Structure 1
Amino acid sequence: MSLFWRIFCLNAVGLVIATALLLGPVTVSTPVLPGEALVVVGGLAALLAVNAAVLRIGLAPLTRLAGAMATADLLRPGARPEVAGPAETAGLITTYNAMLDRLAAERAAGAARVLSAQERERHRVARELHDEVGQTLTAVLLQLRRVADRAPAELREEVGQAQEATRAGLDEIRRIARRLRPALLEELGLHSALRSLAAEFTGHGLTVRHDLAADLTPLPGETELVLYRVAQEALTNTARHSGADRAELRLRGDAAGVELLVRDNGRGTAGAIEGAGISGMRERALLVGAGLSVAAAPGGGTDVRLRVPHRADVPPGTPHPDAGAPR
């Protein structure tokens, strides 16, 4: 029943009862007797109380809807408001839920196009760094080696320093190219790429241990890329911001899906503002219907957990049941 008819029927019943009482056993004298005033005031109070109860019950779904609208975040998809209440309220909640689903699908499609273009640009830049800048620095290094063979003794030390600087620059160019384009992921698979990633971040005061299950169900290429990029971004955040000296990279699989965990022993995330890195990880997680949670690790530090379900029919942008849930 609609809210209008609920209130109308309640008021009509109250007025009919009041009229029947006035035409029957209840009368009002002039001047009004104390007993008659008590009956009239009591009836009015009862009518107002019942009206208030009906309005409170009828408007409760709107209050829940307002709360859901205030906390809605497409990067943290969660449960939709329950469709309940009078017809008008139920229709409004249904429309709102449909709007959220449409926005989530459109955002996921847009994010997929953006991230796809980003990956293509990463590959292009990595290829140019390797083929152009890398080859140029290699040629400079070879030329410096020939110069060092013919240079006077007093200049050989300076030429050697130039060689070392050029070699360091070449190594840095190759490292950047590997980060931009994970060739190991394409050529040797996810396990080799994650082991190489752990080795790359081990050093400069950080030790990264890896524990990668070998019996994982074969995953689509897009899912493997999402797992790799999330692990890369999580380790980058650990190295730059956490102050940790130990980190763990863990990959596990079960009948329900695959879980990636990056755990550190740093200062944690208490009071920290979520930056572009975590937002980017959430965007990538939505592409494969995964759930990403960032929470405090047992004993201190941070847990970044990505859960990818084994569901081939998951459309991009579909929220995973664990999305945004604290752990």
Structure 2
Amino acid sequence: MVVTMNDPEEKAALQHHLASESEMKDLGALKYFLGIEVARSEQGIFLSQQKYILDILTDTGMSASKPADMPMELNHQLGEYPDQVPTNKERYQRLVGKLIYLGHTIPDIAYAVSVVSQFMHAPSEAHVDAVNRIMRYLKSSLGIRLMFTRHGHLDVEGHTDADWAGFVTDRRSTSGYFTFVGGNLVSWRSKKQKVVSRSSAEAEYRGMAHRICELLWIRNLLGELGFKPKHATQLNCDNKAAIYIAHNPVQHDTTKHVEVDRHFIKEKLEAKIIKVSFVKSKDQLADVLTKAVICRVFHSSLSKLGIDDIYAPT
């Protein structure tokens, strides 16, 4: 159990109550919990899963494998094909499950893990190769850690993006988002959309609606904790058509199939709870959650997300 609070007396009372109900021991400041390592410095708090990664590499016999600088190849064509060579399904599911858990502190593998997890029911050798690529990337990134530091505010900000018709098998789009609270990355997700979008604007718009739901939940949570946001939450998007639809109250034939999302987003914009802003594609951090990008863009995004590598050359 992890207990966090800023009232020493209340903390002592809670510990006394728990001790009266069951046997327990206070282990002091948090250092390791469920495979997640916690470190503190003058810069802030750092989370990593280095030991968990090393254990996976050892268990899979990939400790001596060649490192990779990216978790997934550019322009990959992973999908389900009639002539694919099947592989051990149980082993594949077990390994991908471990990678999913790694995603709690390593957002840079979120897209790659989202892709390989699509084939848990019928994995092939090509899918295993993609998983091994993720493992080789993890070997090269053992020093990566997620940093939380003080920025003097608790503003909520989001980045949302979508890759239209990115999956070659069913042509569904991939949505991705990042959420920052107080300048620190707190949540992220890469997920294939449930329906086929007929345009890039529709794909972006569907992703935007789901993203706003998450931002509203975080705003409400902060309010319950006594830190009610004072400003409208900014949501960054790199699709001008989607932003125009969000602000334009006129019904269009091209948007009637996302009418519910359109009214939902319009309501939050008019209430000044959410503010949707345009960002250039080169500044769109969520791009790495929707597709495989070039190495330079990938590593540039990581530094902006507050992810650093203690083994990286200075």
Q: Give the TM-score category using the shorter length.
A: under 0.3
More strand by share: 2
TM-score after normalising by structure 1: 0.25
Whose Rg is larger? Answer: 1
TM-score after normalising by structure 2: 0.26
Relative contact order: is structure 1 or structure 2 higher (C-alpha 8 Å, sep ≥ 6)?
2
